Amino acid sequence: MKGTLSAQLIRKLILVVLAYAIVQLLISVNIINDYLQATLTTICINIILAVSLNLITGFTGQFSLGHAGFMSIGAYTCALIILKNPTTYNFLLGTLLGALLAALVGFLVGLPTLRLRGDYLAIATLGMAEIIKIMFINMDKITNGPRGLSGIPRFVNWTWLFIFTVGTVLLIRNFLKSSHGRACIAIREDEIAAETMGINITWYKVLAFVIGAFCAGIAGALYASYFYFIKPDIFGFLKSVDILVMVVLGGMGSISGSILAAILLAVISTLLQSFSEIRMILYALILIIIMIFRPQGLLGSREISLSAFNRLGKFFAFEKEAK
């Protein structure tokens, strides 16, 4: 048992390293050019955003429309730090500080608002994100107001993207496979039953918000230090909806679903870059179609796992033999 377990682990590790190396190679021989790299970056950032919102909304069952607010805190914090002192060390420090600040705000907002349920909570989180946005607009001296910050030095490369994306996804996945994560899932299923079974529901709701906000802060920092430019408008209501769309599209309560959706939507919107109006119409269309045919999202609450691929492999091998 133990032997096979570590063998599995090693196989996974090899796959992860391989994925990193292949992309790195493609970048160095310029098959993945600057344009594709931007798409790659968007995908990674969206994966972090979608998976972390899924923790809050899909797994813990707390409807949130404020994820872009948490993201903006990470973006501004990191941007301000590296604008002043552009070193890799400061980029990492800025990312960490941005994530921590976002988590702190998640905590402060979470405590009072998590007594609310469903629509009310959604409205409260929406309000929170708008307040954060307005603060950035009004702190003119520091944030340059609505014009935003430009010329942010770029420290984000494939290596950092990979580390942060795989890191956050792994941490959230591990959390969800623990008793603490299962406590969050129990809250989604039935709050009264959960708390009667010994789960401190307020604590776990706030915790989900704090972890989710922390990761969104990281995503914001990566965004700022890749795309050179941020302004409050980028992190508005529409961005929060964008993230929610990925979560719903992939499946509430499915990490692999969120990853799949993040990739899919990034690819679609890159393909449609030149007509951005149609992009939003397409979004709406895709959502409506999925709501009709797969109300539970692409993957529902299931996960794609390595063993699923193995099974698939065996299945095809069997098919061949049969022929």
> Which tokens is 170 given?
């792994």
Q: Is 198 in the site for other proteins (CB under 8 A)?
A: yes
Query: Can you say whether the dihedral through the CA atoms of 183, 185, 186, 192 is positive or negative?
Result: positive
Q: Is 246 in the site for other proteins (CB under 8 A)?
A: no
Between residue 275 and residue 304, which ones bind other proteins under the rule CB under 8 A? 301
Between residue 200 and residue 219, which ones bind other proteins under the rule CB under 8 A? 200-201, 207
Looking at the Cβ atoms of 5 and 29, the one nearer to other proteins is 5
> Quick one: which segment of 80-88, 97-105, 192-200, 284-292 binds other proteins (CB under 8 A)?
192-200
> Which tokens is 11 given?
């196989």
What is the C-alpha separation between 272 and 23, in angstroms, rounded?
23
What is the C-alpha separation between 70 and 2, in angstroms, rounded?
40
Q: Is 100 in the site for other proteins (CB under 8 A)?
A: no
Looking at the Cβ atoms of 193 and 271, the one nearer to other proteins is 193
> Quick one: which segment of 35-43, 60-68, 112-120, 194-202 binds other proteins (CB under 8 A)?
194-202
Q: Is 194 in the site for other proteins (CB under 8 A)?
A: yes
Looking at the Cβ atoms of 139 and 163, the one nearer to other proteins is 163
Q: Is 179 in the site for other proteins (CB under 8 A)?
A: yes
Task: Work out how close the CB of 174 gets to other proteins at its nearest, in angstroms, rounded to a whole number.
Answer: 5
Looking at the Cβ atoms of 138 and 178, the one nearer to other proteins is 178
Choosing from 199, 221, 255, 299, the residue that interacts with other proteins (CB under 8 A) is 199
Q: Is 193 in the site for other proteins (CB under 8 A)?
A: yes
Q: Binders of other proteins: how many residues, by CB under 8 A?
A: 26
Choosing from 127, 137, 166, 195, the residue that interacts with other proteins (CB under 8 A) is 195
The single-letter code of the amino acid at 233 is D
* CB 298 within 8 Å of CB 261: yes
Q: Is 119 in the site for other proteins (CB under 8 A)?
A: no
Q: Is 189 in the site for other proteins (CB under 8 A)?
A: yes
Distance of CA 40 to the CA centre of its chain: 14
Between residue 58 and residue 97, which ones bind other proteins under the rule CB under 8 A? none
Task: Work out how close the CB of 221 gets to other proteins at its nearest, in angstroms, rounded to a whole number.
Answer: 20
Choosing from 175, 227, 287, 304, the residue that interacts with other proteins (CB under 8 A) is 175
* 289 dihedral zone (left: phi>0; alpha: psi -120 to 50; beta): alpha
The span from the first CA to the last CA of the chain, in angstroms, equals 34
What is the C-alpha separation between 313 and 304, in angstroms, rounded?
14
What is the C-alpha separation between 318 and 59, in angstroms, rounded?
36
Site residues, other proteins (CB under 8 A): 171, 174-175, 177-183, 185-186, 189-190, 192-201, 207, 301
